[in-house]
Amino acid sequence: MRNPAVQTIVAELLELLRLERIEENLFRGQSRDIGTRYVFGGQVLGQALSAAQQTAPAERHVHSLHAYFLRAGDIRLPIVYDVERTRDGGSFSVRRVTAIQKGQPIFVMAASFHVEEPGAEHQLSPPEVPRPEDLPETPELDAATLARLPAKMQRWLTQRGPFEFRPVYPRDELRPTKRPPYQQVWFRLVDRIGDDRCLHAALLAYASDFHLIGTATLPHGISYLQPNVQMASLDHAMWFHRRGRADEWLLYACDSPSAQGSRGLARGSIYDTGGRLVASTAQEGLIRVLPGKEGT
């Protein structure tokens, strides 16, 4: 029997991504408080892609997106998405999306859509890691540790989210140690949904913002949970190679080739359980260690 609480969590996310159409090329999305200080970047990515998909020809599917985060989003307010139909060519369509709050752009994205056609095909093999069913679920923090944290951080760490994550090499974010700049994390939506390809693409965009830039912090033994660490996504790129389902296990293999100038770069490859490369990602983020503050 399906868990009603789990179904509700997933239904809330799906509703968040469907958007309200207020004009031909204008959409409104609500914001969801998941315990972050500002609107979660994956929410804006998923909603912007959803808006773009609703204006693209039905036979064309997203193959890439490139986005910049301009301002922090206010979690208390809805977001308006203004879609520009930049081009509809013979086999490609391009859409430009601007996310707006309080009359100012907080995010811009260009997305390209392509009709399916045959062609040469290859991919890099996935890393050899344990299967998700052979990995333990992420343990809950003990009550004493939680009590020492700010209320908003407690909500972030304890709130049941719509995605389940099983890291191959778990890390204690409250007491991080230095390790090489790569990680692999299995993830999936916690409940089954239908076959809507556009919805699964928007869900993958949403989930792709988890764990990615955090990979750049691994060699430095710092964590976004520390009060002296300031982190924010600056941009996000994603390429959709093959059709994938967000409600089935996917492996997110991430690495960080560089960090410098208070910025870190991370790259990701998303594979299904059959080893097919579903999508690739890249992101640069702010990683600023503030002076004069103690860590957790």
Name the active-site residue from 112, 223, 233, 256. Answer: 233
The helix or strand, by DSSP H or E, that contains position 97, with its residue range, turns out to be: strand 92-101
- The answer to whether 16 touches 199, Cβ cutoff 8 Å, is no
283 is catalytic: yes
Residue 133 sits at φ, ψ, to 5 deg, of: -70, -15
Alpha-helical (H) ranges within the chain are: 4-18, 41-53, 143-147, 151-158, 197-207
Phi, psi dihedral angles at 51 (to 5 degrees) = -65, -45
Task: Give the integer Cα–Cα distance in Å for 136 and 212.
Answer: 21
Residue 233 annotated among the catalytic residues of the structure: yes
Element (H, E) at 79: strand 79-88
For residue 91, indicate whether it is catalytic.
no
Q: How far apart are CA 5 and CA 249, in angstroms?
A: 20
Considering the candidates 31, 93, 209, 255, report the single residue annotated as catalytic.
209
Write down the H helix ranges in 122-269. Answer: 143-147, 151-158, 197-207
Please give the C-alpha separations between residue 18 and each of 44, 143, 203, in angstroms, as whole numbers.
12, 36, 11
CA 199 to mean position of chain CA atoms = 14
Active site residues: 209, 233, 283
